[in-house]
Structure 1
């Protein structure tokens, strides 16, 4: 039973780590192989400043980070369609951009993950960075993206 719990917690940890990696990549322009290696070696499941991080599902983490990197232009186009008039991706702060990119990537490329799970998990990721208002923004935007990319599933 403990194994199942650990596995369940590994995907949320992978999502949070992916957003952190994407943020670092945007800030420092770190090459993808170096970035992935750094996270594999030192961040996923590591103890930093007396805090032990949950072991993340590495393959899932890699898929999100690589997928956003490979399909960023496509993902940004989808997100931009659902921003309010007068807003652009560049106006959003960096962590928010990465949360929306990672969530939109999963909606686009991971049909094996239920829509409701994706939206809920990225609201939780937003909670690590923001207050209630931003979490509502993540919910609304990813819901709109889901309706475009997964029209058959509706809001799950």
Structure 2
């Protein structure tokens, strides 16, 4: 059965947020310009005759702005849960974007269940990584969830 429209729109918002955070890290694009670009050119776009799912714009904006505004707190939260000797900078930029977005939701969006946050970012991780990395995302977000949500 197809996911409800709001659920699909939130899933699209998360994927777009990860892509936006990746782009921001790569290019240093200021947040307002980044948000405008995604609003104007990415949401509901047609690529190769397929129309992309329209993302929930307010949810997307909240994730991107929230990760940007709370970057130090989020990076510290993620770094504290990495294995000894690992640094956040050692992770792939796409991985950092996924972990940052997921951690932001766990910290700042109590309206979204832990299971939903983890499942959604596992789906995003599957778009970019193999199973080993997906398991890494699962383990790290689970640790964050236990610490920040009890």
**Is the TM value for this pair above 0.5?**
yes
Where does residue 96 of structure 1 map in the other structure? 95
Aligned residues: 149
The answer on 1:137 being equivalent to 2:136 is yes
Q: Distance in 2 between matches of 1:64 and 1:127?
A: 20
Classify the secondary structure of the residue corresponding to 2:18: helix
Which ranges of structure 1 fall in alignment gaps of 5 or more residues? Answer: 152-156
Q: Distance in 2 between matches of 1:73 and 1:43?
A: 28
TM-score, normalised by the number of residues in structure 1: 0.93
Cα drift, residue 52 of structure 1: 2.0
Q: Distance in 2 between matches of 1:121 and 1:32?
A: 23
Q: How does 1:23-38 map to 2 (within 5 A)?
A: 23-38=22-37
Which ranges of structure 2 fall in alignment gaps of 5 or more residues? Answer: none
Where does residue 75 of structure 2 map in the other structure? 76
Classify the secondary structure of the residue corresponding to 1:82: coil
Q: Distance in 2 between matches of 1:150 and 1:34?
A: 33
Once superposed, which parts of structure 1, at least 4 consecutive aligned residues long, lie more than 6 Å away? none
Q: Distance in 2 between matches of 1:128 and 1:46?
A: 19
TM-score, normalised by the number of residues in structure 2: 0.96
Query: What is the alpha-carbon root mean square deviation over aligned residues?
Result: 1.2
